[in-house]
Chain A
Amino acid sequence: MTRTPARLAVFGITAAALLFPLVNQNDADIDSAANALAFAALALGLNIVVGFAGLLDLGYAAFFAIGAYAYGVASSWQLQPAWSSFWEPFQWLDLVIRFHTAGGDVVHFQVSFWLMLPIAAAIAAFFGVLFGAPTLRLKGDYLAIVTLGFGEIVPIVARNIPSVTNGAMGLNGVAAPRFFGFDFGIDATPYYYVGVAIVAFLILTSQRLKDSRIGRAWMAIREDEVAATAMGVDRVRYKLLAFAIGAAFAGATGTFYVAKLQTATPEMFMFPVSVMILVMVVFGGIGSVWGVVVGALILQILQSWFLEDLSEWLHALGRFVGVDWLQHVELASSIELIFGLILVLMMLYRREGLIPAARRTRTLSLDEQTVQPARSGFTNLAARDDGSRLPLLEIVDLAVRFGGLVALQSVELSVPAHSVVAVIGPNGSGKSTLFNAVTGLVPTDQGTIRFAGEEIGRLRPHQVLDRGIARTFQNIRLFPNLSVLENVMVGMHARLVTGPVGAVLRLPATRGEEAAARERALEILSLFGNRLLPRAEHPAASLSYANRRRTEIARALAAQPKLLMLDEPTAGMNPAETLELADQIGSLNRYGLTVLLIEHKLDVVAMLADKVVVLDHGEKIAEGPPAAVRRDEEVIRAYLGRSAVFA
């Protein structure tokens, strides 16, 4: 969508939302609308966890419950500890009052609703981290089950600690909010407007997070966790952040919902509620901010208005046709059946939801579609070789074992700064394992790896990237549903500093950093001429094989590495494209980048490499300039195999 129609739509929707209670003065309708808004807020929160970060949370209602009970307990007569001087400062802050009863003076909590919104959000966020932490290393469905478990435990606990929550009977006497002396009371309208404000705020927050460094990090994790960590994203931190922020949304909404209902019971937060929110997200469009809002509103309105009307029509039809069952059907109670059907049908036929998160892209001109390979390398990079040849990467006596299998043994490798070193060897010789060991993707059993003098063998992948090593993968690991530009910008993750607060507030510093990052990403894309630039907004999965390789290299360059590690960069390219890329790697090297390269096209190696290292069966069997290595007997035997004894 281009800007103007989108802006108009948002303006129109806002106006409609604000005018609604003036147009339709029916209190029940306004109340339903307020409920719908609450669920829209919940859907937005779950969207962050499931849609942005790709973590399937089946127990999301737990955070809703936590926020609800937090406010409930803090503003009702449920808890009445005995009065003591400890409570005096709180009374002075107007958070509690001293209440006289027959049995003595007790504390009555009356924390303000407005204060409780952020506090409940924070408490829920804390639990988000708590419940999320055990799931960090689990894969998709197992993660879902654990979150389901937590989602079930919370309401059961709520039911079984009646001293705090009044158990199954539910909290009551929850105080209504007060706004500068105006008591909200039982009229639905003020709650409705608070709901609008909350949803508007959460939409804004979601949008801003999505279009920021944070959102990109989440989506990178969702698309390919391994590649994300190799590009500098700390997956532990970002997964926990997703859980925390998603939980915070639910916590605040819980406070709002309970304030409106003035009661809280465990039934309100059980598994079916978690599923309902999930259905809203799936129906509306996983990952799409407006999509989930629309999905939630439609399903809530369906539940509270439409189904009742539809039931009336079916009754009339039943009387007309004389079918008894039709006259008695109550669709409203079959809402869960409808939810089940929606889930199944959406998964089978429209997995992207009503309003898909993916964007439309323009078609390319003929010129942009066909590009001839060029042989000049990157012309707009100024050479920056400072002449130093100290070893940038030093590997000493490295061993990597997988169970009983020895993948690498006694490997020694030294990569001088500003050089190009190629690693070659037959299939299964350990080349990719070597790359994985250096970048922290597999643990090492022995030996040291030193980068710029620092021992990096124990670092996690995102820390290795941070030190200045960026890599590509043998079978290309791009983020398929992100655009080419977004892929490259993920590469910059470690070089930017915007955090979630900055992302939401969009301070000038953040805006500046984001614009500069975008500039730089486009610059890097332009290095590849007309191949990638026209496709900057296209999803990476739609690119040709060779272009995806180039995008992966661009992404690695975006991390401003000192050492670029390329795993078979020319695989799948025809000879002309191969030479073009080889020239480009050469110019990157002259620009100052140190390059460690796995290649099996030995003409490319001969062209580029200062030094060649040959691996076979996990050990180094030769090292030296390309020409010498090619003639080495051991090398030839490794590639062509030992001669038969019975020749």
Chain B
Amino acid sequence: MLELCPILEFRGVDTHYGDLHVLKSVDYRIDVGEIVCLLGGNASGKSTTMKAIMGSVRPTAGDILYQGASLAGVGTAERVRRGIAPVLEARRLFPRMTVYENLEMGAYTRHRGPEFEEDLARVFTLFPRVEERLRQIAGTLSGGEQQMVAIGRALMARPRLLCMDEPSMGLSPAYVEQVFDIIRTINRQGVTIFMVEQNANMALSIADRAYVLQTGQVVLSGRAAELRENELIRHAYLGELKVQ
């Protein structure tokens, strides 16, 4: 299905933290079905981007559009209902709830019905280990297992756009590979993915396109394949690239 309208767009977005100018006139565009990743070093504004998409941070200038419609004034719950689901930085499962209850919370904005069961089945197919641990208290799982549950929880919202904040953070290399594998599978099933990552190499290996952020500004963007060859990536990460 061809959709001309990008699923998510940032147009000239500025954000501030008090008087600190965090995002500076940032433009992104994510088309339906893509995997787009946002790269950047420490304090580049990656997390703020995620927060702006979910609605915890409001732009001080510019606009964020989802499926063509502006998100200004739209609350977080409504954004989830419209199809944007987050996988939060460091997982942030509800530590004293069971795995099953966490998954349920992911579907909080939706009605319980046959669709819920379908989504649950889908999550179990993707993450067999999660099905094994349904009654276990989430806080007792390992980091990698928690990441699986966190992704599963987001999928329970049946999102069109999945926003992932540093999915590889704190995971062992084996788990990192598994997670990225699963991200590709989910994408093939029709979910658009916008991912913030520090691990540029891994991210670029599965992404279609990428943006590189440095001190709140987009300094590089393009197709992932091109960026991987680009020397400038290393410079941007290691803090040498200066912007006019």
Q: Known contacts A544-B19, A603-B239; decide if A641 and B199 are in contact (CB<8 Å).
A: yes
List 21 contacting pairs A-B, 8 Å CB cutoff, sorted by A: A426-B41, A426-B198, A427-B42, A427-B198, A428-B170, A544-B19, A572-B20, A601-B239, A603-B239, A639-B234, A639-B238, A641-B197, A641-B202, A642-B199, A643-B201, A643-B202, A644-B180, A645-B177, A646-B177, A646-B181, A646-B205
What class of interface size applies to chain B in its complex with A?
A: 20 to 34
How distant is the Cα of A630 from the Cα of B237 in the complex, in angstroms? 11
Closest Cβ neighbor of A647 among chain B residues: B205
How distant is the Cα of A630 from the Cα of B199 in the complex, in angstroms? 17
Contact of A641 among B18, B42, B168 (CB under 8 A): B168
Assess whether B97 is interfacial by the CB under 8 Å rule.
no
How distant is the Cα of A646 from the Cα of B201 in the complex, in angstroms? 11
How distant is the Cα of A403 from the Cα of B241 in the complex, in angstroms? 39
Contact between chains at B19 and A427 (CB < 8 Å) = no
Closest beta carbon of chain B to A409's beta carbon, Å:
14
Q: Which residues of B contact A640 (CB under 8 A)?
A: 199-201, 233-234, 237
Contact between chains at B41 and A639 (CB < 8 Å) = yes
Q: Known contacts A600-B41, A602-B239, A603-B240; decide if A644 and B206 are in contact (CB<8 Å).
A: yes
Closest beta carbon of chain B to A394's beta carbon, Å:
27
Contact between chains at B201 and A644 (CB < 8 Å) = yes
Contact between chains at B205 and A644 (CB < 8 Å) = yes
Assess whether A571 is interfacial by the CB under 8 Å rule.
yes
Q: Known contacts A544-B19, A545-B20; decide if A602 and B238 are in contact (CB<8 Å).
A: yes
Q: Which residues of B contact A645 (CB under 8 A)?
A: 177
Q: Known contacts A426-B198, A427-B198, A647-B205; decide if A575 and B242 are in contact (CB<8 Å).
A: yes
Assess whether B173 is interfacial by the CB under 8 Å rule.
yes
Assess whether B169 is interfacial by the CB under 8 Å rule.
yes
How distant is the Cα of A544 from the Cα of B18 in the complex, in angstroms? 9
Assess whether A636 is interfacial by the CB under 8 Å rule.
yes
Closest beta carbon of chain B to A480's beta carbon, Å:
11
Assess whether A583 is interfacial by the CB under 8 Å rule.
no
Q: Report A56-115 residues with CB < 8 Å from chain B CB.
A: none
How distant is the Cα of A571 from the Cα of B44 in the complex, in angstroms? 10
Assess whether B103 is interfacial by the CB under 8 Å rule.
no
Q: How many residues of A contact B (CB 8 A)?
A: 26
Q: Total A-B residue pairs with C-beta atoms closer than 8 Å?
A: 74
Closest Cβ neighbor of A641 among chain B residues: B199
Q: Which residues of B contact A234 (CB under 8 A)?
A: none
The 10 closest A-B pairs by CB, nearest first: A641-B199, A644-B205, A602-B239, A545-B20, A641-B201, A640-B200, A600-B42, A643-B201, A601-B239, A572-B20
How distant is the Cα of A267 from the Cα of B106 in the complex, in angstroms? 56
Contact of A642 among B18, B173, B237, B238 (CB under 8 A): B173
Assess whether A568 is interfacial by the CB under 8 Å rule.
yes
How distant is the Cα of A639 from the Cα of B39 in the complex, in angstroms? 11
Q: Report B196-244 residues with CB < 8 Å from chain A CB.
A: 197-203, 205-206, 233-234, 237-240, 242
Q: Which residues of B contact A575 (CB under 8 A)?
A: 242
Q: Known contacts A426-B198, A427-B42; decide if A545 and B233 are in contact (CB<8 Å).
A: no
Assess whether B43 is interfacial by the CB under 8 Å rule.
yes
Closest beta carbon of chain B to A88's beta carbon, Å:
69
Contact between chains at A571 and B198 (CB < 8 Å) = no
How distant is the Cα of A640 from the Cα of B201 in the complex, in angstroms? 6
Q: Which residues of B contact A647 (CB under 8 A)?
A: 205
0/1 string, A344-377, CB within 8 A of B gives 1: 0000000000000000000000000000000000
How distant is the Cα of A427 from the Cα of B176 in the complex, in angstroms? 16
How distant is the Cα of A572 from the Cα of B43 in the complex, in angstroms? 8
Contact between chains at A636 and B205 (CB < 8 Å) = no
Closest beta carbon of chain A to B139's beta carbon, Å:
11
Closest beta carbon of chain A to B188's beta carbon, Å:
14
Besides A568-B43, A600-B43, A646-B205, 16 other A-B contacts (C-beta < 8 A): A427-B166, A544-B19, A545-B18, A571-B43, A575-B242, A602-B240, A636-B234, A636-B238, A640-B201, A640-B237, A641-B199, A641-B203, A642-B176, A642-B199, A642-B202, A644-B206
